A = this chain, B = another copy of it.
């Protein structure tokens, strides 16, 4: 658990994000910069006040920048720095700043070196990227040609970042956050302790935790953030009336009251936490899915080092594939259909046995695309199965909503079921070996 920062000086400064790009407004690309930068600032105790997306047109960018620059203390821009971008963008912003553009040989050298390293030929338009505002710092770009730019002027900050996420993300974390922190504009570490929960609604969570919160009155600030299957509870203390040790103690109390509904402190995903349980117990997992079409396997393979705990998975879109990959008998499918508790159990068992896994999850249901709904099993009916060293069980779930939602909810429910089972099994091992249960 990370202790929250002792100061939150950026609280009253206004941060605006200006995302540039026709591709965002035309709906071709999701605005991932908002999600990333908004999330990063929030973790340091700063709330982004506004995000404005405008077209690539230089006059439009200049007009919007002028407005944001007048209203905000810190303006962050993304995009518009590439070699094919309109020249006039830099010029227009330079004019608003009252600065000249100057050619920087150090930038030119970095760009040229990059082309040599990649064995490619540099084109003339890349040299545009070697211009910077006369009073600005250059943010080195380890993954592309366009450097970022950092301007401090009239008590305000302008930070211009390149558009490609693999260039922007490390630049923001390694160069922008430390600079903002050094100037006291955001906390120098996590600004709150996050108690992440799963499988419990926001109002129920509040009810369960309120007695703990009540003991601390105004000294404790609590914010709830609900997303997908999770609700995060963020604890901080206005004006540091509680010290980090006290906040950590409160977070531990919350976790203890929540029991298995407590997922983790911080930002780990449900799959990551579940994977950690598997790894620490040295257990191997397999999955089998129809309805969720590969999404369940993908959640686990997204965790770094998945080979250590994840044997593999089968995606089945036909009775034949269920029989061939998972050894489910034809007579079982004929008698019960694929959308049944019996089949889910047989799929989980087949996956575990075929792949030599200790645990297996199976998901079968009617959100399509493989199996249609029927009178017995309306759309949104999902059967989950969990195979473990102690036995195999199934569960029937019913999710309303569009297909994408049903898939995500089914995957989260399956993973959370396994997580809870792993907690119980570790507790049992501890009890059997004479230790006190301690999780």
Contacts and interface: CB of A to CB of B under 8 A. Distances in A.
Interface of A: 22-32, 34-42, 47-55, 60, 64, 165-166, 225, 227, 286-287, 293-298, 300-307, 310-318, 320-321, 324-325, 354-356, 368-371, 401-402, 405
30 contacts: A24-B34, A24-B51, A25-B38, A25-B48, A26-B225, A27-B37, A27-B41, A27-B42, A29-B35, A30-B32, A30-B34, A31-B31, A51-B51, A51-B52, A166-B401, A287-B315, A294-B294, A294-B298, A298-B315, A301-B369, A307-B318, A307-B371, A310-B317, A311-B320, A312-B321, A312-B325, A314-B315, A314-B325, A315-B315, A325-B354
A401 B166 CA distance: 7
A312 B306 contact: no
Interface hub of A27, A36, A48 (most chain B Cβ within 10 A): A27
A425 B34 CA distance: 45
A370 B53 contact: no
CB-based closest 5 A-B pairs: A27-B39, A293-B301, A312-B321, A294-B297, A294-B294
Nearest to A338: B307
B294 A295 contact: yes
A317 to B, nearest CB: 5
Given A53-B50, A369-B303, A225 B23 contact: yes
A232 B381 CA distance: 38
A26 B55 contact: no
A35 B55 CA distance: 14
A93 to B, nearest CB: 17
A298 B301 contact: no
A379 to B, nearest CB: 13
A192 to B, nearest CB: 12
A51 to B, nearest CB: 4
A400 to B, nearest CB: 8
Contacts of A166: 401-402, 405
Contact of A307 (B55, B317, B354): B317
A300 B293 CA distance: 8
Nearest to A287: B315
Contact of A294 (B38, B227, B315): B315
A305 B372 CA distance: 9
B50 A26 contact: no
Contacts of A51: 24-25, 31, 51-53
A415 B213 CA distance: 53
A225 B50 CA distance: 27
Nearest to A22: B47
Given A50-B53, A227-B29, A356-B324, A293 B304 contact: no
A306 B371 CA distance: 9
Nearest to A34: B31
Nearest to A353: B324
A350 to B, nearest CB: 11
Contact of A370 (B31, B64, B301): B301
A405 B164 CA distance: 11
B50 A52 contact: yes
A310 B23 CA distance: 33
B315 A369 contact: no
B53 A25 contact: no
Contacts of A305: 369
A295 B295 CA distance: 7
Contact of A38 (B24, B42, B48): B24
Nearest to A41: B27
